[in-house]
Structure 1
Amino acid sequence: MTADVPHANPASRGTHHPGDATPFALGLLLRQAHWRAAAVMTEALRPLGIELRHFAVLIVLADRGATVQRDLAAATGSDKAGIMRVVDDLERMGLAVRRSVPGDRRVRAVEITPQGTELLDAAYVAAEPLADRLVAQLAPGEPEQLMDLLTRFAYPPGSEA
């Protein structure tokens, strides 16, 4: 049995080439950009002994202060088990600590340690030249324009940032 599925014109299929105007082109392009940026940031973090997933949690903790694990999961796009593993790693490395939340023994808040803050600062210093290299082919003003466009795309009006 075959489904009644409309068939695309072969000329309108995604090609994964620059300038592709198919419905999936934006998602594919964003994915490729993510892989490229993640590779550069992974290179910057490797000498510091952390991974991007650790870095993402440290950024949230530095920005928000003590944060319950479920909110860390939401802020970093992790699931409950994944965030627990990351926080376990950060605790083992002395970069974060879990603390009880007054009034709810089941909930634990995660806090960045002074050592975690130092490592986060070192990560920014290590990443800066690599990040500059990542956007080196863009014209003056375009890196800021790209950041603005991606920020508005990722956080549309009315969404929680």
Structure 2
Amino acid sequence: MAVDVPHQTTASRATDRPGDTSPFALGLLLRRAHWQAAAVMAEALGPLGIELRHFAVLIVLVNRGATVQRDLVTATGSDKAGIMRVVDDLERMGLALRKAVPGDRRVRAVEITPRGVELFDAAHVAAEPLAERLVAHLGPGEPEQLTDLLTRFTQSADDKT
């Protein structure tokens, strides 16, 4: 099956270089920024024995309290099997535990343990100098401006779903 592709010449090809005007530029830049930030956060979490996927669940548990596994799927953008593996890991490490939900024997809520809270706090301490390094090349006030813009950008996207 042939695809009808317009044959117009574009001055810009999709890149993630400064000044790219293609419709893909923002997504490509956000992808690169994600890779850089994820690498820094992985560097902070590694010595603590967890990965970013574990920390993402801990964030939800700290923010929401006990959370049913299906809601963890939605909150983290993971899939059901992935969340099961992460929660299994967190339980094995003593950072979270599953509890029965009253009134529904099939549903389990995941709750952070005191050890999980300690690790969560330790992760923030470990990440602080690395996060500063991540934005060190920005000017005064720019890290806060970037955070504000990304917060508004992601909140806007969240409102549409």
Query: TM range, normalised to the smaller chain?
Result: over 0.9
Query: CA 1:98/1:137 → structure 2, altered by over 3 Å: closer, same or farther?
Result: same
What is the TM-score when the length of structure 2 is the normalising length? 0.95
Residue 37 of structure 1: aligned partner: 37
Q: Distance in 2 between matches of 1:116 and 1:158?
A: 27
Query: CA 1:90/1:158 → structure 2, altered by over 3 Å: closer, same or farther?
Result: closer
Q: Distance in 2 between matches of 1:80 and 1:23?
A: 32
After TM superposition, the structure 1 = structure 2 runs for residues 7-156 of structure 1, keeping only pairs within 5 Å, are 7-156=7-156
What is the TM-score when the length of structure 1 is the normalising length? 0.95
- The C-alpha deviation readout for 1:96-147, integer Å capped at 9, x for no partner, is 0000000001110000000000000000000000000000111111111111
Runs of 4+ in 1 over 6 A off after TM superposition: none
Q: Distance in 2 between matches of 1:13 and 1:78?
A: 31
Equivalent position SS for 1:144? helix
Query: How many percent identity over aligned positions?
Result: 77
Contact 2:15 2:28 in 1 (8 A): no
- Per the TM alignment, residue 12 of structure 1 is displaced from its structure 2 partner at its CA by 2.2
Q: Distance in 1 between matches of 2:16 and 2:7?
A: 19
Q: Which segments of 5 or more consecutive residues in structure 1 lack a partner in the other structure?
A: none
Q: Give the total of aligned pairs.
A: 161
Q: Which segments of 5 or more consecutive residues in structure 2 lack a partner in the other structure?
A: none
Equivalent position SS for 2:17? coil
